[in-house]
Every structure is written in C-alpha cells, then in structure tokens.
Amino acid sequence: MTLANLPLLPARRIDVVEAARGVCAGYVVLAHVFQIFGYKYSLLGSVPLLVDLASGYPHEAVLFFFLLSGFSIHYASLDRPLDQVSGVWRYIYLRLRRVYPIFLVAVLGIFGLYGLGLGLGISHYQVLWQDLRWQDVIATVTFVADRSPTCGRLATVLPTNPPFWSLSYEIFYYLLYPVFWWVAQRRSIWTTIWAGGVVSLLAVVVGAWQCGHVSNVLSLYYVWCLGALIAEYKRRGAILQLPRMVVYLVPYLAVLVVWVIAKSRLVDFETPFWVAAFFVILAYPVSAGAKVVLTARARWSGLAMMLVAVLAVLGLAQFKTLSDDMTVFHQRLFLFLLIWAGLLMSDGQAWRSYMTKWLIQHLHWLGSVSYALYLIHYPLLIWMREWTEHMGLQVHWGLLVLPLVLYLAWWLERWLQPRLVPWLDRSFKMVPQSKSASRPMVGS
C-alpha cells in the first residue's frame, strides 16, 4: 500500500515537538542575551568556548524552527478541506488568528518602549525615533520586511526587533500551504517535496543573479517542506526508511562540514548541512531506526567512522586555517566528539529513555510560550541595556528583565490569546473548532 493510501491517524499534541520548540526559543534568548549585553565580547577572553556555544548559532535555531513549522502545519492541516474555497479561507483565518494578535501586541509594546525611552531621555531612542521609517513599520506589520543586511529586501524590520524577519518567511509559507496540500493530494508527498526543493534551488539561482525578497524567502522553503514530509509519515503511521546509524552519523558529519567550511568561500553552502542534521533528528521517531538497537559491533564501527572524520579535520587544519581561534575550534571539535560518542556508545540503554522523557516533561512548558517569548524578548533586552547605560549601572542589572520576559510570554500565550480567540471567532462569524495542534514556529 502506498503512503497516500494509508489512513490518517488522529492529530494529537506531540510533547517532543513542544519541547523542541522550547529548546530553540530558549537558545535564541540565551544567544541574544550574550549579544545584546556584550557577554559575547566581554567573556571571550576568559571562556571563549562558552561564548561560542551560547551565542554562535541563533540562525541555526531558526532553521530548526522552519522545519518544525512545516511539520506542525501539515500535521494539523492534512485532513482539512483545502480543495474548497471555504476551507482555504478558514485555514488562513486560523493561521492569522494564531499569529497576529500576539504579534500586534508585541509591536504596540515596542512603541511603548520607544515612548518610555524618549520620556527618560535615553539617547538611543532619540536617535532611533529620528531615523525610524514608517514604511518599514508598515512592512513589518504586513510581514514583508527582512533583516538589515539582507540583499534585495523590500523593507527593514523594526530596529529593536530584528528577529521579526522570520515572520515574513513564515507567513509566506503559510500562504503557500494550500498549494502544497493540493499537489500532495493529487500527486504524492514526495513529488511535492521535490517540487519544493526545485523552487528553492531556482530561488537561490535567481537570487544570485538578482536578489529580491521573494527569492530570499523561497530559498529556505525546502526546509519547511521537509518538515511537512515528516508530518505526513507521522499522521499516516508510516515508517521512513532511515537506518539508526544514519541518525548518529549524518548530524555529526554535517556539523563537522559546517565548521570546516565556516571560513572559506563555501560558507554560503552551510545551510543544507544544518538542515540535513536537523531533518534526521526530527525524522528519527518515524524512522525504521527507532525500532531497533545498535549492536556492539555497529556502535564500535560508528565510533571508528567518527574518529576517522575528526582525524581528517585535524589533518586538514595542519594545512589550512579553519577558524579565527583554532584553540576554540579544537575544544569545540573534541567536546562534540565526546558528546556524540557518548550518545552512540550508550545506544539502547534504559537511562537514555528516562532522561529523554524527563527533559521533554520539563521543557514542554517553554514550548507552549515560545512564540510570544520569541516576539518580546529582544526589544526588552535592548531597552534594559540602554537603561542601565543611561543610569550608569553595570549591564548585568539588565538580566533582571528575564523573569518579566517569561511572565509576559506566559501572559500573552496563556491568558490573553485564549480570551481573544472567542471574540475573534464571533467578530468574523467563524464556528468554534477544537484547538489546533499547530503553533507558529518562528525564530531569530
């Protein structure tokens, strides 16, 4: 029986996806704390490895967010009637209902911080207000703005919240989803995934010739599509033929490649390697590898391949400088080898399962507020940094805002949003529906 002919299983909240979202959001906040409060530079001399690990990969967290987003939207919407106009309109309404209220409150909050900064005479906000372009504000709230360094952008996101850029990508993918759904229904999920990959490849080619907003957005569309592929297997109870050893080796080797090319002309091609690593990790629960345990021989063989890869990197480092700080490079390399080798050699042990369940249980709550956390943390961190400088305080006092950030994220997600939903449904004459299994997946 083909994948498309398998019956759909009921959509349920998946705790491990919630936990993964929480990990991504938590890492993004941590990285921005290091960047905004200057720890990325002040701690560089004393604990450079910590600085590298804690602040070096927020964009990679975005890639994982996009993968999770494709999974969540397809998982929740696979059985929607998107071949009908009414079904498409309802889908769009539900997506905007989930995304826009909290987003709009976050934007209003940013302007509240601008006003407070101006009232206190903080120079940063005086300069910011003078340079603020209202076309950028409009583009931000209509989801067509991008980061300031991005070539071909239509507009720049609000200056105190550059993480908003990913919303422009996310909303675009949401709007494309009914087409994705239609092709997957009439062809196959694999045909649709290949089509998405071709679209991204063409976007990269067009962007290299003449960069623009649409090509920028579509260049990462394949990431979102791969998440949807995993959701198809999950909803149909199918098994993705992905061996267990691949789940260990692909992420490990992909990260090594990324570190090797980080300072070369090939750095622009690092994204597919990160995506490969994240895809294999997310696909593991629906893979054939999840049903088996590695033999002792397989574990030792895998360890040997990992050691050979590390030795190859060390050999290359003798002839080519692979990092601005080769000491940190070697520390990072050996730490990663130690962690991954530990995971490989402990495969199948009971404590691994217990630890995984414990982590999911304790990170689930963070995933439930991750969207609001992502939207509000950056402007609040910026404001506290500028306020401490204005008051002549040490920047460490700015860390006191973190409990407020968490509380506001909880308040927006768990108090405000549930109260807005019934009002919006009545206003737009939408029949209430059971709570969607999907959440917006945005990153920084």
Alpha-carbon distance of 151 to 139, in angstroms, equals 16
- The answer to whether residues 214 and 321 belong to one domain is no
Residue 410 has pLDDT above 50, yes or no: yes
Is the separation of the CB atoms in 379 and 113 below 8 Å?
A: yes
- The pLDDT assigned to 432 comes to 66
First CA to last CA distance, the chain: 41
Is the separation of the CB atoms in 54 and 29 below 8 Å?
A: no
- The answer to whether residues 39 and 109 belong to one domain is yes
- The answer to whether residues 260 and 370 belong to one domain is no
Mean pLDDT of 221-228: 98
Mean pLDDT of 27-45: 94
Residue 302 has pLDDT above 50, yes or no: yes
**Structural domain contains residue 439:** no
- The answer to whether residues 235 and 246 belong to one domain is no
**Structural domain contains residue 403:** yes
Instruction: Give the residue from 153, 175, 157, 174 showing the smallest Cα distance to 165.
Output: 157
Is the separation of the CB atoms in 321 and 263 below 8 Å?
A: yes
- The answer to whether residues 275 and 134 belong to one domain is no
- The pLDDT assigned to 193 comes to 97
**Structural domain contains residue 7:** no
**Structural domain contains residue 78:** yes
Alpha-carbon distance of 407 to 52, in angstroms, equals 28
- The answer to whether residues 328 and 232 belong to one domain is no
Q: How many helices and strands, by DSSP H and E, does the chain display?
A: 19, 0
What value does the CA radius of gyration of the chain take, rounded to a whole number of Å?
23
Secondary structure (3-state) at 393: coil
Alpha-carbon distance of 370 to 25, in angstroms, equals 6
- The answer to whether residues 277 and 307 belong to one domain is yes
Give the confidence band of 258 by pLDDT, cuts at 50, 70, 90.
very high
The mean pLDDT value of the chain amounts to 93
Q: Which residues of 47-82 are buried (b: 16+ CB within 10 A; e: fewer)?
A: eeeebbbbbbbbbbbbbbbbbbbbbbbbbbbbebeb
**Structural domain contains residue 358:** no
- The pLDDT assigned to 435 comes to 44
Alpha-carbon distance of 299 to 86, in angstroms, equals 53
- The pLDDT assigned to 1 comes to 57
Residue the block writes with tokens 């002839």: 319
Residue 126 has pLDDT above 80, yes or no: yes
Tell me the backbone φ, ψ of residue 32, rounded to 5 degrees. -75, -30
Mean pLDDT of 252-278: 95
Domain with 304 in it: 242-286+294-347
How many folded domains does the chain comprise? 2
Mind listing the pLDDT tens digit for each residue in 47-95?
999 999 999 999 999 999 999 999 999 999 999 999 999 999 999 999 9
Alpha-carbon distance of 51 to 325, in angstroms, equals 12
Torsion-angle region of 143 (φ positive above 0: left; ψ -120 to 50: alpha; else: beta): left
**Structural domain contains residue 47:** yes
Residue 437 has pLDDT above 50, yes or no: no
Give the confidence band of 292 by pLDDT, cuts at 50, 70, 90.
very high
Is the separation of the CB atoms in 243 and 289 below 8 Å?
A: yes
Mean pLDDT of 7-31: 94
**Structural domain contains residue 1:** no
Alpha-carbon distance of 86 to 383, in angstroms, equals 44
- The pLDDT assigned to 2 comes to 76
Mind listing the pLDDT tens digit for each residue in 148-166?
888 999 999 998 899 999 9
Secondary structure (3-state) at 166: helix
- The answer to whether residues 199 and 301 belong to one domain is no
Instruction: Give the residue from 441, 420, 268 showing the smallest Cα distance to 367.
Output: 441
Give the confidence band of 440 by pLDDT, cuts at 50, 70, 90.
low
Residue the block writes with tokens 């630890």: 355
- The answer to whether residues 265 and 399 belong to one domain is no
Q: Within 13 Å of residue 250, how many CA atoms lie on the same side as its CB?
A: 19
Residue 439 has pLDDT above 90, yes or no: no
Is the separation of the CB atoms in 193 and 229 below 8 Å?
A: yes
Give the confidence band of 4 by pLDDT, cuts at 50, 70, 90.
confident
Mind listing the pLDDT tens digit for each residue in 311-331?
999 999 998 889 989 999 999
- DSSP code per residue over 226-278: HHHHHHHHHHTT--B---HHHHHHHHHHHHHHHHHHTTSGGGGG-HHHHHHHH
**Structural domain contains residue 444:** no
Instruction: Give the residue from 61, 91, 279, 240 showing the smallest Cα distance to 173.
Output: 91
Mean pLDDT of 299-311: 97
Mind listing the pLDDT tens digit for each residue in 342-396?
999 999 999 999 999 999 998 989 999 999 999 999 999 999 999 999 999 999 9
Q: Which residues pair with 240 in a beta bridge?
A: 287
- The answer to whether residues 195 and 270 belong to one domain is no
What does pTM read for this prediction?
0.93
- The answer to whether residues 197 and 210 belong to one domain is yes
- The answer to whether residues 319 and 213 belong to one domain is no
